[in-house]
Structure 1
Amino acid sequence: MPSRRPPRTARALAATAAVGLTLPLAGCGVLGLGGSNADLQIYSARHYDLEGAFKDFQDETGVSVEFISGNDAELLQRIKAEGADGEADVFMTVDAGALWNAGEEGVLKPVESAALTEAVPADLRDSGNQWFGLAMRARTTMYNPDKVKPADFDPKDTYAGLADPKWKGRLCMRDSTSAYTQSLVASLVGLRGADATLATVKGWVANGVDIKSNDVELLKAIDAGTCDVGITNHYYLARELEKKPDLKVKPFWASQGDAGTHVNISGAGVVKTSDNAAQAQQLVEWLATKGQSAFVDGNHEYPVNESVEPEPVIAKFGEFKRMPLSAEAYGSQNAEAVKILSEAGYK
């Protein structure tokens, strides 16, 4: 087993200090499953039930892991600042645009892996093999079945259909600063173009969209009848149904008559400066294959590996056609999405 450098080397400290970072970063935390001399250091923006899957990996392989957590931007900045003296072996994010950006910034190492090529669909991985999707979430329409019928939705372009005046005073959505909102709008820009997307967002605003601070609050509002319809990630509904099986909220799979439902991914790549690139690749491969269920089930996410069945709660939501994912659009169009939200007056 390759030996690691002592953690937090003086040169790494100097590199981060040079750009005004501290170790650990503000807002970051360390989860050590293998102690401070762990074989693999994972810089992770993902915070959903990490311990179980990675303990399984450690028990099965003998490779120990340690996590440093934070948001995508600060972790990427840290990797760049630490450079060749950095500790990161794996960079893990919760957004396809962030993965694309990491690839563009040159911090990830291309890996050749037949296991990953087979397990991860082509649009959920980098064409240059720098990063790979590992868990998938769908952002779709949610409705109160006492107030809305499935036939009320536009089956072709459900997201744009919520701009129809019939939804005036009935619509709840997330705030403009949410990465979920920005990625959805960026995907619509990539699919329909900026002008059509601006018209859609203006329609949402014209309908008096009620902005909620998080998806759970939004689902509770639909259940209570204070709004009839909204858009959330599917797994928040699964979580709430576990606590309240009679919740008056159902999913409607958006845009099944056309492009399909918007999806995003959590994923990972091997850091270019990793001392243990082979073990880092082994981890990513395990998460996409033998470890898929352990990685996604605790948060009710969909496996990217099509040979793995979804866990029972979300399996009851039924099958759906997903919108092909364009990580480049999510990343490169994010600024355009923010501009559109602002121009439309979306809060």
Structure 2
Amino acid sequence: MRLITTLATLALASPVLADEVNVYSYRQPELIAPLTEAFTAETGIDVNVAFLEKGMVEKLTAEGNRTPADVILTVDIARLNSVIEAGLTQPVESEILTANIPANLRGENNEWFGLTTRARVIYASKDRVADGEVTTYEDLADPKWKGRICTRSGTHAYNTALIAAMLSHHDEAYVTTWLEGVKANLARKPQGNDRAQIKAIWAAECDIAIGNTYYMGQMLADEEQKAWADSVDIVFPTFEGSGTHVNISGVAMTKYAPNRDNAVKFMEFLASSKAQEIYAAKNFEYPIAPGTSVDPVVASWGEFTADETNLMEIAQLRAQAIRLAETVDFDG
């Protein structure tokens, strides 16, 4: 496998047909290296990965039909949707992909496919939160939590996706009031990443926090952060009358993919049980393909029922979600 971690190297290459597939990724190369190595070992097709922190739409737009990129990998439906809305992807017709990825986790016209999911959960202090004390996302606005909640910025992609999901279940007036209630319950101004919120629970700065499930796995594997993880339980809240909010890591083919056949093979491999188990175990996420085993660490957190709202609907509510977070000055 040839691993390319600088954009300049991949972008300077002329798009020519080769026994390779070129990937633009919002996931760090070390997180997907086990996948690309397994794909190359199985098929003989090299995978070149360019890691982008931001600006995928701008880069693909500038490159146009001379882009070397065949496939994009993202970690949030909103990022995936921005590339699709810019007209930079193409549908992929594949029986393997449609068989392995359920309808609510892929595009209506097969322009994107989810690979793994992560739940947006509540991390609750083992010492200061009773079992069953919080059960729904709506509960977070209850005054009983005043001064007890920690979270990262309300306009971060993970939280805007949650707000957008709330908008898919409630009208704007309700969600505005809910955001005001959650803000009133914050123990401190929104700050840091998801792990910082769990550290704050460990330090008794707050009692519950909003975060993604995979951070628990990452903390348990870290000598310093394990104590943070051990201080909390994972609670899988639901929307009233529905399930737990999930987001995805996802994949799509670029509009001008120069190695289209190889790109299809790579996408089908990513949707296979073999790849999904590798991907999910490496990143402590939930595989999507039927019959795929969940990593034992992830399984130990318990089972939950996912909200079945199509993620593209949630992505299309993102702008409204950001506007509401700014309207209530959530981060202020």
Tell me the alpha carbon deviations over residues 52-77 of structure 1, each in whole angstroms, 9 at most, x when there is no partner: 111111111111011112145x1122
Tell me the alpha carbon deviations over residues 260-296 of structure 1, each in whole angstroms, 9 at most, x when there is no partner: 1110001111112112111101111101103111122
Q: Which runs of 4+ in 1 moved over 6 A?
A: none
1:136 aligns with 2:114: no
1:233 aligns with 2:212: yes
Matched residue, 1:4: none
Judge conservation of contact 1:256–1:320 (CA < 8 Å) in 2.
no
Pick from 168, 171, 176 the counterpart of residue 146 of structure 2.
168
Matched residue, 1:102: 83
Judge conservation of contact 2:57–2:83 (CA < 8 Å) in 1.
yes
CA–CA separation in structure 2 for the residues paired with 1:70 and 1:218: 26
Matched residue, 2:14: none
What amino acid does structure 2 have at the position aligned with 1:64?
D
Pick from 283, 298, 303 the counterpart of residue 319 of structure 1.
303
Deviation at 1:256, TM superposition (A): 6.9
Pick from 253, 269, 282 the counterpart of residue 252 of structure 2.
269
Judge conservation of contact 1:134–1:265 (CA < 8 Å) in 2.
yes
Judge conservation of contact 1:170–1:209 (CA < 8 Å) in 2.
yes
1:77 aligns with 2:61: no
Quickly say closer, same or farther: Cα 1:124–1:137, change in 2 above 3 A: same
1:338 aligns with 2:319: no
Matched residue, 2:184: 206
Matched residue, 2:292: 308
Pick from 37, 40, 44 the counterpart of residue 58 of structure 1.
40
Q: Secondary structure at the match of 2:89?
A: coil
Judge conservation of contact 1:94–1:265 (CA < 8 Å) in 2.
yes
Deviation at 1:105, TM superposition (A): 2.2
What amino acid does structure 2 have at the position aligned with 1:336?
Q
Q: Secondary structure at the match of 2:141?
A: coil
Pick from 223, 235, 238 the counterpart of residue 255 of structure 1.
238
What amino acid does structure 1 have at the position aligned with 2:34?
G
Pick from 163, 178, 184 the counterpart of residue 156 of structure 2.
178
Tell me the alpha carbon deviations over residues 218-258 of structure 1, each in whole angstroms, 9 at most, x when there is no partner: 11111232211111000101222233277110011101762
What amino acid does structure 2 have at the position aligned with 1:41?
N
Matched residue, 1:288: 271
Q: Secondary structure at the match of 2:64?
A: helix
Q: Name the TM-score, length of structure 1 as normaliser.
A: 0.85
CA–CA separation in structure 2 for the residues paired with 1:29 and 1:315: 38
Tell me the alpha carbon deviations over residues 96-132 of structure 1, each in whole angstroms, 9 at most, x when there is no partner: 1222332222221211111111111110001101110
Judge conservation of contact 1:137–1:301 (CA < 8 Å) in 2.
yes
Matched residue, 1:219: 198
Unaligned runs of 5+ in 1: 1-22, 31-36
Judge conservation of contact 1:187–1:330 (CA < 8 Å) in 2.
yes
Match runs of 1:117-156 below 5 Å: 117-153=98-134, 155=135
What amino acid does structure 2 have at the position aligned with 1:270?
M
Judge conservation of contact 1:187–1:326 (CA < 8 Å) in 2.
no
CA–CA separation in structure 1 for the residues paired with 2:186 and 2:275: 44
Percent sequence identity is: 33
CA–CA separation in structure 2 for the residues paired with 1:135 and 1:29: 26
Pick from 312, 315, 327 the counterpart of residue 328 of structure 1.
312
What amino acid does structure 1 have at the position aligned with 2:77?
A
Q: Secondary structure at the match of 1:49?
A: helix
Matched residue, 1:196: 174
What amino acid does structure 2 have at the position aligned with 1:181?
N
Quickly say closer, same or farther: Cα 1:207–1:257, change in 2 above 3 A: closer
CA–CA separation in structure 1 for the residues paired with 2:311 and 2:239: 21
Tell me the alpha carbon deviations over residues 154-205 of structure 1, each in whole angstroms, 9 at most, x when there is no partner: x3xx112111110001111111231111111111112212211111110011
Matched residue, 1:18: none
What amino acid does structure 2 have at the position aligned with 1:253?
F
CA–CA separation in structure 2 for the residues paired with 1:329 and 1:130: 14
Tell me the alpha carbon deviations over residues 28-52 of structure 1, each in whole angstroms, 9 at most, x when there is no partner: 999xxxxxx8711101111261211
RMSD: 2.1
Q: Name the TM-score, length of structure 2 as normaliser.
A: 0.89
Q: Secondary structure at the match of 1:274?
A: coil
Quickly say closer, same or farther: Cα 1:29–1:71, change in 2 above 3 A: farther
Unaligned runs of 5+ in 2: 1-5, 12-17
CA–CA separation in structure 2 for the residues paired with 1:307 and 1:223: 36
Q: Secondary structure at the match of 1:129?
A: coil
Judge conservation of contact 2:10–2:68 (CA < 8 Å) in 1.
no
Quickly say closer, same or farther: Cα 1:181–1:127, change in 2 above 3 A: same
What amino acid does structure 2 have at the position aligned with 1:192?
H
Q: Secondary structure at the match of 1:212?
A: coil
